[in-house]
Amino acid sequence: MIRKLGRRLPWSAGRPPVRDARPGAGALAAAPQTDAPAAAGDAPLLSVVVPTFNEQHNVPTLIARVDAALAGIDFELVFVDDSTDETPEIIARSTAAGDVRLIHRPPSEREGGLTTAIVCGLRAARGTYIAAIDADLQHPPEKLRDLLLAAQSGADIVVASRYLRDGSAAGLPGVSRHIVSAGSKWLSRLLFYERLRHASDPGSGFFLLRRSVIEGVELRPVGYKMLTEVLVRGRWSRLAEIPYRFEPRLAGRSKAGWWQGIQYLHHTYRMFVEVREVARLWKFLAVGASGVGVNLGLLWLTTSVLGVAAHPGWAVGVEGSILSNFWWNRTFTWRDRRDSRRFGMVREAVRYHIASVIGVLANFVAFSAAIRLGSATMPAGIAGIAAGFLANYIGAARFVFPASAGVRPHVAIASAERPAANDDPAVLTVKECAPDGARSDA
Ligand X SMILES: Nc1nc2c(ncn2[C@@H]2O[C@H](COP(=O)(O)OP(=O)(O)O)[C@@H](O)[C@H]2O)c(=O)[nH]1
Q: Which residues is 102 bridged to in the sheet?
A: 79
Considering the rule CB under 6 A, would residue 67 count as an interface residue with ligand X? Answer: no
CB of 94 to Mg ion, least distance (A): 20
CB-wise, 100 or 117, nearer to ligand X? 117
3-state secondary structure 272-323: HHHCCCCCHHHHHHHHHHHHHHHHHHHHHHHHHHCCCCHHHHHHHHHHHHHH
CB of 55 to ligand X, least distance (A): 5
CB of 188 to ligand X, least distance (A): 16
CA of 429: how far to CAs of 77, 153, 371, 423, in Å? 17, 34, 70, 10
Considering the rule CB under 6 A, would residue 136 count as an interface residue with ligand X? Answer: yes
- With CB under 5 to 8 Å by kind, the binding choice for 141 among Mg ion, ligand X, none is none
Considering the rule CB under 6 A, would residue 62 count as an interface residue with ligand X? Answer: no
Give the separation between CA 131 and CA 43, rounded to whole angstroms.
15
CB-wise, 145 or 249, nearer to ligand X? 249
Contact call for residues 9 and 106 (beta carbons, < 8 A): no
Considering the rule CB under 6 A, would residue 80 count as an interface residue with ligand X? Answer: yes
CB of 63 to ligand X, least distance (A): 13
CB of 157 to ligand X, least distance (A): 19
Binding-site member from 47, 56, 94, 138 for ligand X (CB under 6 A): 138
Contact call for residues 422 and 429 (beta carbons, < 8 A): yes
3-class secondary structure, 263: helix
Binding-site member from 58, 138, 188, 260 for Mg ion (CB under 5 A): 138
Contact call for residues 132 and 109 (beta carbons, < 8 A): no
Give the separation between CA 165 and CA 122, rounded to whole angstroms.
29
Binding-site member from 81, 136, 201, 218 for Mg ion (CB under 5 A): 136
Give the separation between CA 166 and CA 172, rounded to whole angstroms.
16
Q: Over the range 189-205, which residues count as b (16 or more CB within 10 Å of their CB) and which as e?
A: bebbeebbeebbbbbbb
Q: Over the range 219-240, which residues count as b (16 or more CB within 10 Å of their CB) and which as e?
A: bbbbbbbbbbbbbbbbbbeebb
CA of 191: how far to CAs of 271, 280, 394, in Å? 10, 9, 18
Closest CA to 228 of 178, 279, 179: 279
DSSP 141: G
Binding-site member from 91, 117, 148, 227 for ligand X (CB under 6 A): 117
Binding-site member from 9, 29, 256, 385 for ligand X (CB under 6 A): 256
The count of residues interacting with ligand X (CB under 6 A) is 17
- With CB under 5 to 8 Å by kind, the binding choice for 76 among Mg ion, ligand X, none is none
Considering the rule CB under 5 A, would residue 218 count as an interface residue with Mg ion? Answer: no
Considering the rule CB under 6 A, would residue 299 count as an interface residue with ligand X? Answer: no
CA of 121: how far to CAs of 74, 125, 131, 165, 185, in Å? 18, 6, 10, 31, 24
CB-wise, 90 or 114, nearer to ligand X? 114
Binding-site member from 6, 44, 51, 221 for ligand X (CB under 6 A): 51
The count of residues interacting with Mg ion (CB under 5 A) is 3
- With CB under 5 to 8 Å by kind, the binding choice for 352 among Mg ion, ligand X, none is none
Query: Which stretch in 28-36, 131-139, 380-388, 410-418 sits in contact with ligand X by CB under 6 A?
Result: 131-139
CB of 77 to ligand X, least distance (A): 13
Question: At residue 81, what are phi and psi to the nearest 5 degrees?
Answer: -115, 130
Binding-site member from 82, 99, 109, 348 for ligand X (CB under 6 A): 82
CB of 203 to Mg ion, least distance (A): 12
Give the separation between CA 207 and CA 392, rounded to whole angstroms.
38
Query: Which stretch in 47-55, 339-347, 372-380, 405-413 sits in contact with ligand X by CB under 6 A?
Result: 47-55
Contact call for residues 278 and 189 (beta carbons, < 8 A): no
Considering the rule CB under 6 A, would residue 134 count as an interface residue with ligand X? Answer: yes
Give the interface with ligand X as residue ranges (CB under 6 A).
Answer: 51-53, 55, 80-82, 113-114, 117, 134-136, 138, 254-256
Binding site for Mg ion (CB under 5 A): 134, 136, 138
